[in-house]
Structure 1
């Protein structure tokens, strides 16, 4: 399973994106660890029943399905000298493995991105404003300027999709563009 995060608005204080799902469309990159089936089963038992993730009109390719919107900290052009500010910078573009692991900070099972250069602990979690991101990716519905709403619903729906893919033995990736 591949998630595609397409950044659509790189503002001074925040970044808005659209999150798409491509099932069985990604290629596996070897060398990254995937979560164990026990971890996936444990994570699944902690989930709230997800909202339906159905196709929506904002698809970049016929095989990709729009899931929800994203909110990240400020985008920085790392390729041309942009400098990371801890907790205030969006991660660099790239393709990263995603697993579900327990977050002691959030006291719940959450998706985490692996292998992000110069970043660690990048989670996909609930929140509404850029102050809630703490350098991570928030999911929800961008119905207000600079915010995502209904974030918990979308985190739970996304966790359900990731756990289902892991239970099928599929690797999960996110391609940030």
Structure 2
């Protein structure tokens, strides 16, 4: 299998952490892709018509894309139990929350990076950050008991989302007023899979 990826992507990181945690890293060849929303890589488009990473190319079936699909496939392949039957809907909702934080945070980067300065909308940026802020507050009030339980895909998604906020939006100081969530992340970020996939650049 080949993973079309860019290590700066939080969605790619989620897949990489899953590969580490399920012992499948050696089964996948990493293929670096340089792509943007405006000029997507032709090789990526041929694998994923949406032109988005990550995309997992398989020899025995169609390319899988969207990190949630890929992670669910990898979990099933390894029978790792990252989507436990006993709390699968909670796990999926927590994963969706992490993905939504990542998406809003990435859209802020895109707005600042790919639009001409005179067309950058601060209202748009603040609207996206408001989504992030509400999700972080919800984690602290509704989800800490889950996050302190046995690790599942919800933990991985939230860990990668918080890591991306540190990576691209450090000045926003997401930890302020969220001591419990910050303490959880301080511990989770020390997992070998998280350390091995820390983005740079």
**Which protein has the bigger helix share?**
2
* TM-score, normalised relative to structure 2: 0.26
After TM superposition, the score normalised by the length of structure 1 is 0.29
| Structure with max Cα Rg | 2
Q: Which has the higher contact order (CA 8 A, sep 6+)?
A: 1
Higher strand share: 1
